[in-house]
Structure 1
Amino acid sequence: MKILVTGAGGAMGRTLVRRLSSSPEHTVIATYHRVDDTIEVASFQQIELDITDTDQVDAALQRMRPDAVVHLAALVGAACESDPDLAEKVNVEAVASLTEAAARHRVAKLVFISTAAVYGDGLSAPVSESHATHPTTTYARTKLAAEEGLENASRRSDTPDVVVLRVFNVWGDGFSTSLVERLRTSSEAAPVMLNGLDTFLRDYVHVDDVVQACELALTAGLSRFEVVNIGSGVAVSNADLVRWIARATPPVYEVVPAATSYSCADIAKAERVLGYSPEHTIIP
């Protein structure tokens, strides 16, 4: 399978490209927004691509003729809040133009990386894909808008099959801003601020498990449009996380009062339709 990966310069993109390119069954085309983002590995093709440039995107798909696209490229976090117009352009409009180009050039499948943030965090139990969405940030709102655009496009017979992966809190190599990694590298000079201990719970999914899900989604026989949660399926409190990390090195942190906050994936669908099985679950 020939696979084009957008956003290959990011932490998840680098891990995914390495995993896919290690298989003789795959030919990988890694796209980067800037040349200096490229991975210094020669086992796959690397091209520069601005996903907001519709002509560039169309030309790349016409030239490369991939069987599938994994779309990772996005504007995330605080950058979305500081420039909502750019977030709309990158996270919504670029997805729509990529989908149209994929239809023109007969791409069979599009795997789209979305976020658990579309559900919000006012939950009390693991959330399934049928749960109501409640995005509260620009990033989450634009990701949900992109999902809706993909669902609408999938009603046409000429567009690729779409798998949306709603990814929960990613940690691991390259994710230095995740709470897991910040606690691991905390110090007296740089303590981590925690919003409560037992009342703040999150589902932490390792980047290796996320890329496992991406690879599985590329070959899974699904319907025209599917949304699948990708997490560990375990709700880990700040207190549990601190205890788990302390097995290696005691973290340095301060606790501030905060309202109860809960977010965890029901991964039953991922297990059923993808054969997904997380290998790096944090067990308190």
Structure 2
Amino acid sequence: MRVLITGGAGFIGSHIVDRLVGNGHEVIVLDNLVSGKLSHVPSNVKVYEVDIISEEINSIFATYKPEVVIHHAAQIDVQLSLKDPMFDADVNIKGTINLLQACAKYHVRKIVYASSAAVYGTPLALPISESHPTAPISFYGISKLVPESYIRVYSALYGLEYTILRYSNVYGERQDPKGEGGVISIFADKIISNQTPTIFGDGKHTRDFIYVGDVADANLAALSLGSQQTFNISTNTSTTLLELYDTMRKVAGSDIIPAHMSERDGDIKHSRLDNGSALNELEWTPRVTLAEGLERTIHYYQDFIETEKREIYV
């Protein structure tokens, strides 16, 4: 199958590329390389350094003629969305529309869209099912929700199949703690660098953490299953930030105590996504436990930092 993946040199996208290549698919990557890295992509995969907002994507679609588009290119920083909502909307909303136009024009069969738990806003009850009202409390959440509506309308108008995947908190290897990193990559970087991590609030906020490899598997399942449906991709398990940090500290052998700061605007106190629909319809299940995933992630950053040190002194 010919698959075009946007953001394919990034954290989640590059893991999906690995899975696609490993399963014999023909893959092409669109990535502006602002946060993505060529080193994350197998050398035999063609990477176009282009922004999804650019008209240049049309020539790539015309040449490559993808059967499926997996769309991960996005602005994903909640705090940045609050500071610069215009940029957030340009990338996440207008960029997706530009991509959908190309999908319609060049007769793409299906688009798989990476959405977010942020579309739900403050939960009315836990776990959150796909039928839960969508009421984002950040501009980022809005900018991930609006493209879902565009995708459904493009589907109705042009016969474009789609699967929308709403992720809980994704973590794992290759997540950049210095850029748009999640809490786990930031904690790992601080612990390994012997610096004090910061927890915003009392640390009793809960999140549903899912390992990046399991997210990649969900995207592969969506190539052929779950058409015209929306799924939560999660573990359906709550973990407090204090519990998370304590586990990571023990894995790394650290005794550093985190600092606490005031809660941030746009942060939800509790989040846990019901993944039952994905289990049934996508025939998918998360396989990596949090303990196992954290161990893999910590060891990845330990090796990464050691490699950086060696390169400095060579």
TM-score by length of 2: 0.81
Unaligned runs of 5+ in 2: 293-314
The reply to whether residue 82 of structure 1 matches residue 90 of structure 2 is: no
Q: Which amino acid aligns with 2:288?
A: H
C-alpha separation in 2, matches of 1:155 and 1:254: 50
Does structure 2 retain, via aligned residues, the 8 Å contact 1:99–1:160?
no
Shift, 1:114, TM fit: 0.8
Report the equivalent of 1:229. Answer: 232
Report the equivalent of 2:29. Answer: 30
C-alpha separation in 1, matches of 2:124 and 2:209: 16
CA deviation digits over 1:137-169, x for unaligned, max 9? 11110111111111122212x242111111111
Structure holding more strand per residue: 1
Q: Which amino acid aligns with 2:164?
A: V
C-alpha separation in 1, matches of 2:282 and 2:59: 32
Report the equivalent of 1:172. Answer: 172
Does structure 2 retain, via aligned residues, the 8 Å contact 1:244–1:282?
no
Shift, 1:136, TM fit: 1.1
Shift, 1:116, TM fit: 0.5
Q: Which amino acid aligns with 1:200?
A: H
Report the equivalent of 1:241. Answer: 244
Shift, 1:240, TM fit: 2.4
Change in CA separation of 1:148 and 1:132 when aligned onto 2, cut-off 3 Å: same
Change in CA separation of 1:61 and 1:271 when aligned onto 2, cut-off 3 Å: same
C-alpha separation in 1, matches of 2:159 and 2:87: 26
C-alpha separation in 1, matches of 2:88 and 2:249: 38
Q: Counterpart of 1:99 in 2: which secondary structure?
A: helix
Structure holding more helix per residue: 2
Report the equivalent of 2:259. Answer: 254
The reply to whether residue 19 of structure 1 matches residue 25 of structure 2 is: no
Which aligned pairs between 1:56-75 and structure 2 lie closer than 5 A?
56-75=56-75
How many corresponding residue pairs?
278
Report the equivalent of 2:187. Answer: 183
Change in CA separation of 1:278 and 1:63 when aligned onto 2, cut-off 3 Å: same
TM-score by length of 1: 0.89
Report the equivalent of 2:285. Answer: 277
Report the equivalent of 1:132. Answer: 133
Q: Which amino acid aligns with 2:132?
A: H
Q: Counterpart of 1:228 in 2: which secondary structure?
A: strand
Q: Counterpart of 1:219 in 2: which secondary structure?
A: coil
Shift, 1:193, TM fit: 2.0
CA RMSD in angstroms comes to: 2.3
Does structure 2 retain, via aligned residues, the 8 Å contact 1:3–1:27?
yes
Change in CA separation of 1:42 and 1:182 when aligned onto 2, cut-off 3 Å: closer
Does structure 1 retain, via aligned residues, the 8 Å contact 2:197–2:258?
yes
Report the equivalent of 2:52. Answer: 51
Change in CA separation of 1:210 and 1:28 when aligned onto 2, cut-off 3 Å: same
Q: Counterpart of 1:110 in 2: which secondary structure?
A: strand
Report the equivalent of 1:219. Answer: 224
Does structure 1 retain, via aligned residues, the 8 Å contact 2:211–2:290?
no
C-alpha separation in 2, matches of 1:257 and 1:83: 21
Q: Percent identity?
A: 27
Does structure 2 retain, via aligned residues, the 8 Å contact 1:30–1:45?
yes
Shift, 1:184, TM fit: 3.1
Report the equivalent of 1:102. Answer: 103
C-alpha separation in 2, matches of 1:239 and 1:76: 24
Q: Counterpart of 1:100 in 2: which secondary structure?
A: helix
Change in CA separation of 1:281 and 1:134 when aligned onto 2, cut-off 3 Å: farther
Shift, 1:269, TM fit: 0.5
Q: Which amino acid aligns with 1:202?
A: R
